[in-house]
Chain A
Amino acid sequence: MKSPGSITAGDHLLDLKWNPEGTRLLVTPATGPVLVTDEAAALLEELPGHGMGNGSSAWFAGEPVTCGYDGKIHFGSREWKPGRGMIEHVRTSPDGSLLAAGQGKTLHIFDVAGSDEKSLRDLPTVVSDFAWNPKSPAEIATAGAGGALLWRLGEKEPFARFDWGGASLQVRWSNDGRWLATADQTPSVHVYDIPKDTPLNMEGFESKVRALAFSADGKRLATAGSPVVTVWPCASSKGPDGARPILVDGSESEVQALDFSPFTGQLATGDGKGTLLVVTFEKGQFRRKRVRLDSGISTLAWHPSKPLMAVGHESGSVILLSLEA
């Protein structure tokens, strides 16, 4: 693999986000300035950090958006402070018109002008994570309340509840809109077939699931926590129910980062010792390419339209890797 560029931020890398065009990369470390780079990882801009800790970042209306433990959202040159509590994530709706930010029991929903009248307030529990429905810019899922709640903006009650009495830390919505998946504090993953209103509970993982990701077509769900990545098939009418998952070995320690390429469909995984796997799926089988990098991999982001990925490390370095022959 060739490396078209690299850059180093000041702390452990939390998050990497390409803009939709793939021309700019947002590099978010645990603390300190958030970096904006070009496609070759050359620094374009340094954005102010968020005190005690940064949250995940996003692109919104062509501008970078950052958030953090100071309770602030930086959107381009604007700064919003919607409340006192920390903000851990900001996420843009699939059509790019809205920005969601969780703060305590409020899920703020901003439009580009900063209006937040669509926000969901006084939710039953703190919003630990949330995910937009990729098929509907008016629907969003929040983790919490024993599982996840599915909301339509403008309505006061959730239109669906996914409750198994668990403790959800992360929630993801598949790109085909069919599946919702949560990773829990207990070593388990819970998948909800939304059209069928059917929950599937997968337990018995070796450790807490630290990362989960759906493939771009929604046909696979990858979960990671131990050195073995589990890839669940979601394409059939029953989805993962009764199916044998693919177990991707080859990592040397706990896998901390996962991402499916929207361009090639490949899965990239990164572990705490710096092992990067690039997994290609073929008719129920898989091939993997293994690369050993310098330090633990904490986050990964595929380019939206090229066989190129950004790999973020615990050391603060970001390296771009190209899979082009």
Chain B
Amino acid sequence: MSRIPVTILTGFLGAGKTTLLNRILGEKHGLRIAVIENEFGEIGIDHELVINAEEELFEMNNGCICCTVRGDLIRILGNLMKRRDKFDHILIETTGLADPGPVVQTFFVDEELREQTVVNGVVTVVDAHHFSRHVGETHEAEEQVAFADVIILNKCDLATPGELEATEQRIRAINALAVIHRTTRAEIDIKKVLEVGGFNLDRATEINPHFLDAHGHHHHHHSDISSVGIEAEGECDGKKLNDWISKLVRDQGQDIFRMKGIFAVKGQADRVVFQGVHMLIDAASGGPWAGRPRKNSLVFIGRKLDREALTSGFRSCLS
């Protein structure tokens, strides 16, 4: 049974999430998309494919201190999977002030959802004109950027070229991995929103930690959220790598929003791909190297990241 892709749509209040949702629901793209909208959305969308649900957060009593999941999603998605006429895609909108972590964690934690759905990615809509102000006012705006696989830098018509450049640099400093699309009135090819593949280990192809150096590393910014990229030649010792990551997420998982890695592990011919959200991690075979250089690439996005400690920690895993 093929798993149904799920896209998580976040964005600060007024950034343009509802505009994007209406565009997705209104365009003729040939896909049947179910939308789970938070009950207190900015504008209620009255559409036959929209479910209004109040975000129901609960803490998992599973030894993971930061593991909060969305109970409403577990029940709604469980029921959607029972339907005879399945959807092509499911889109989950979070409230403007929500931390996307619990939504993502829900898919890591619930076995049935893991079997039946696949998180395609986190798409964050950012108000190009007001992002700097939002970041100064709350931590949620930064966290939404930190979690993103795709950032829709919206309302570009309201920002000057200088503002746009500064905002993009600020975003890059927080999240070196996300793809940024500049838009006005959320006008974008829907495929760029739905076909992200950010959490799909099967589709992991390349992680470029140097991206960080090229974008934002040298820029001054006031946030304590940042990205750290590590790249190393050679092979990892599988046990050392496992022990290091386990300890890392145990000690610092609360501050790590996203992790992604592709490893060359001694004794394994294929690539090992890895991803994590806070304390929840997942690893799988990433298929053959297929002519690509056999090296290790790893990126962390989180709060108070210690680049030197992470780099030396990872290097200690090399065999």
Q: When each residue 208-250 of chain A gets 1 if its CB lies under 8 Å from chain B and 0 otherwise, what string results?
A: 1000000000000000000000000000000000000000000
Please give me the residue from chain B that is nearest to A105 by CB atom.
B54
Judged by a CB distance under 8 angstroms, whether B158 is at the interface is no
CA distance A185 to B109 in the complex (A): 9
CA distance A207 to B115 in the complex (A): 14
Identify which of residues 170-223 in chain A touch chain B, using a CB-to-CB cut-off of 8 Å: 184-186, 188, 207-208
Q: Which residues of the partner chain A approach B60 to less than 8 Å between Cβ atoms?
A: 167, 185-186
CA distance A71 to B54 in the complex (A): 12
Please give me the residue from chain A that is nearest to B71 by CB atom.
A128
Chain A residues within 8 Å of chain B by Cβ, number = 37
The residue from B82, B84, B110 contacting A10, defined by CB atoms under 8 A apart: B84
CA distance A236 to B62 in the complex (A): 31
Contact B58 A167 (CB under 8 A): yes
CB distance from A275 to the nearest CB of B (A): 19
Judged by a CB distance under 8 angstroms, whether B79 is at the interface is yes
CA distance A146 to B61 in the complex (A): 10
Contact B51 A52 (CB under 8 A): yes
Judged by a CB distance under 8 angstroms, whether A85 is at the interface is yes
The residue from A12, A165, A316 contacting B61, defined by CB atoms under 8 A apart: A165
Contact B84 A185 (CB under 8 A): no
CA distance A165 to B60 in the complex (A): 8
Q: Which residues of the partner chain A approach B52 to less than 8 Å between Cβ atoms?
A: 71, 84-86
Contact B58 A125 (CB under 8 A): yes
Contact A185 B56 (CB under 8 A): no
Contact B110 A52 (CB under 8 A): no
Q: Which residues of the partner chain B approach A30 to less than 8 Å between Cβ atoms?
A: 79, 82-84
Contact A208 B111 (CB under 8 A): yes
Judged by a CB distance under 8 angstroms, whether B31 is at the interface is no
CA distance A12 to B72 in the complex (A): 20
Contact A126 B51 (CB under 8 A): no
Judged by a CB distance under 8 angstroms, whether B53 is at the interface is yes
CA distance A12 to B83 in the complex (A): 6
With contact pairs A85-B39, A86-B53 given, residues A167 and B69 touching in the complex (Cβ less than 8 Å): yes
Judged by a CB distance under 8 angstroms, whether A37 is at the interface is no
CA distance A314 to B62 in the complex (A): 31
Contact B84 A12 (CB under 8 A): yes
Q: Which residues of the partner chain B approach A104 to less than 8 Å between Cβ atoms?
A: 39, 53-54
The residue from A69, A165, A207 contacting B51, defined by CB atoms under 8 A apart: A69
Judged by a CB distance under 8 angstroms, whether A33 is at the interface is no
With contact pairs A167-B60, A185-B60 given, residues A12 and B82 touching in the complex (Cβ less than 8 Å): yes
Please give me the residue from chain B that is nearest to A55 by CB atom.
B79
Contact B61 A167 (CB under 8 A): yes
Q: Which residues of the partner chain A approach B206 to less than 8 Å between Cβ atoms?
A: none
Q: Which residues of the partner chain A approach B56 to less than 8 Å between Cβ atoms?
A: 125-126, 128, 144
Contact A186 B51 (CB under 8 A): no
CB distance from B47 to the nearest CB of A (A): 10
Q: Which residues of the partner chain B approach A52 to less than 8 Å between Cβ atoms?
A: 34, 48-51, 80
Judged by a CB distance under 8 angstroms, whether A300 is at the interface is no
The residue from B39, B51, B69, B111 contacting A53, defined by CB atoms under 8 A apart: B51
CA distance A104 to B57 in the complex (A): 12
Judged by a CB distance under 8 angstroms, whether B44 is at the interface is yes
Contact A185 B79 (CB under 8 A): no
CB distance from B108 to the nearest CB of A (A): 13
Judged by a CB distance under 8 angstroms, whether B75 is at the interface is yes
20 further interface pairs, Cβ-Cβ under 8 Å (given A52-B34, A144-B56, A185-B71): A12-B83, A14-B82, A30-B82, A31-B84, A51-B48, A69-B51, A84-B44, A85-B52, A85-B53, A86-B53, A86-B76, A125-B57, A126-B54, A128-B56, A128-B72, A146-B58, A167-B58, A169-B74, A186-B60, A186-B61
For the complex of A and B, the 3 pairs showing the least CB-CB separation, nearest first, are A126-B56, A104-B54, A167-B58
6 pairs of residues in contact across A and B, judged by CB atoms under 8 Å: A52-B50, A52-B80, A71-B52, A128-B56, A146-B59, A167-B60
